[in-house]
Chain A
Amino acid sequence: MRLVPGTPPSDEDLVAELRETRSESAFTRLHRRHTPRLLKMVLRILGGEETDAEDLVQETWIRALGSLHSFRGESQFGTWLARIGINVTVEHLRKRSRVRLVALDEASGTSGRQPTHEERIDLERIIALLPVGCRTVMLLHDVEGYTHQEIGRMLGIASGTSKSQLNVARRRAQALFDGDRVVRRGSETAVAPEEDWLIAGTGEVVAQ
């Protein structure tokens, strides 16, 4: 496979070139095409830590190029890369034992009254406040546009679990967005075990 000057090569062409010759220019094109989106997604899953995000994107590319032979083109390259990026990010979070359910009512600082405009939490902050498991599902579904089936494959969970996690995230996000005070229920207050980084329980919120 040879890249033709003046013609934008497809991802498949670049992957083939990279696989065949380890071409640095083919990699650079792929990187410039996919890293900005990957970086934003990783940043949001992390809750906005830029230094970690770039390290994780680098690790994602290292793993992706190391296992390029396993990319068979069944999904788009960007989807395949995002899946690796999510795995890398979730592994990172697990290692750092940061997969905890955030006490939304305390973290958000909201009270029973309607917040003023100045007090309103912006959406990035709301997303960052969501527990990492349901946050990831919501980001993939509502921001990145993946289906539950795709999310299930990416995260190694059932598509039904993806749906339930999305509901948890949406309830919480909506409540925070509306300025409601959020109360957690039952098992959600526990720290998630490393193996089960998704939220247990219904994740329902009650506005007071």
Chain B
Amino acid sequence: MTDEDEVRLSPALRAELERLPRQAEPSRGFEARLVRALRARGLVESDAPRLLLGRGWAPALRLAAALVIFAAGVGLGHRLGRESGRAGDVASAGSGAEQLAALVQRTGSAHAAALGDLAASAASARPEEIALAREVAMSSLRATLWQMVLLDPDDPVPARMLSDLDRAAPGAPPSIRVSAQPLVVSF
């Protein structure tokens, strides 16, 4: 301050001002409370997953997790189906199918959500991460369609989609061949 009309403090008061502490320690627990508040608003995120994987792998990880859950569901379905067939327990088979339908719904949502996350972060992700995720998603899509054909062989939509996929990716092993009628599924 160099203005001529500035009120000047006495040296004693100025010295007191300079001696004033500039910092105050917050109370215990304040930092934890603050972090919780910021987390609740999505303004900070825990570093643990990033430290292990680095940024950009989270969507692929979620996608892979969804696929694992999906595959586990399919495997569980096969096993339950076999057991149910052996035992001839119709009631038990009905209950298993109900659980599996719910599982398909849950894992399907997780799968779609993971793909959505991936799409949202595609601009900032590395190309190899995107390629990996696309490959996983495509395999998952094929597996899903294949299971849908098994679920209802008379439904032409999944069979046609599989056929389209085969045509679009000629290098890939053909997963299904569609004839006019009846539908033939080859493994």
B34: nearest chain-A partner, CB-CB: A58
Contact A177/B12 with A24-B47, A31-B34 known, Cβ cut-off 8 Å: yes
Determine if A191 is an interface residue (Cβ-Cβ < 8 Å). no
Question: Does B126 lie at the interface of the complex (its beta carbon under 8 Å from any beta carbon of A)?
Answer: no
Interchain pairs with CB closer than 8 A, number:
106
CA of A53 to CA of B43 in the docked complex: distance in angstroms?
Answer: 21
Shortest distance from the beta carbon of B129 to any chain A beta carbon, whole Å:
15
Q: What is the predominant secondary structure among interface residues of chain B facing chain A? A: loop
Q: Which residue of A lies closest to B21 (CB)?
A: A40
Against A, the Cβ 8 Å flags (1 = close, 0 = not) of B3-35 are: 101111110110011001111111100110111
Q: Is A57 part of the binding interface, using a Cβ–Cβ cutoff of 8 Å?
A: yes
Does any Cβ of B come within 8 Å of A99's Cβ? Answer: no
Q: Is residue B119 contacting chain A, with contact meaning CB distance below 8 A? A: no
Once the chains bind, are B37 and A37 in contact (CB under 8 Å)?
Answer: no
* Proximity string of chain A (47-78) to chain B, C-beta cutoff 8 Å, 1 when within and 0 when not: 00010011001100110011000000000000
* CB atoms of B50 and A23 under 8 A apart: yes
Does B148 make an interface contact (CB < 8 A)? no
Cβ-defined partner of A173 (8 Å) among B5, B9, B42: B9
Contacts of B5 in A (CB 8 A): 167
Q: Count residues on chain A whose CB falls below 8 Å from chain B CBs.
A: 42
Of residues 94 through 139 on chain A, the ones whose CB sits less than 8 Å from some CB of chain B are 123-124
Are the CB atoms of B26 and A35 closer together than 8 Å?
yes
User: Is B7 a contact partner of A171 (Cβ separation < 8 A)?
Assistant: yes
Contact mask A1-42 → B, CB, 8 Å, 1/0? 000000000000000001011111101100110011101100
Q: How large is the interface on B (under 10, 10 to 19, 20 to 34, 35 or more residues)?
A: 35 or more
Which B residues touch A21, using CB under 8 A?
A: 45, 47, 50, 55
A34 to B45, CA, bound (A): 20
Whether B16 contacts A27 by the Cβ 8 Å rule is no
Cα separation A170 to B30 with both chains bound (whole Å): 34
The 8 tightest CB contacts between A and B, nearest first, are A36-B23, A40-B24, A65-B43, A170-B7, A167-B7, A22-B45, A24-B44, A39-B24
Q: Which residues of B contact A (CB under 8 A)?
A: 1, 3, 5-10, 12-13, 16-17, 20-27, 30-31, 33-35, 37-39, 41-47, 50, 55
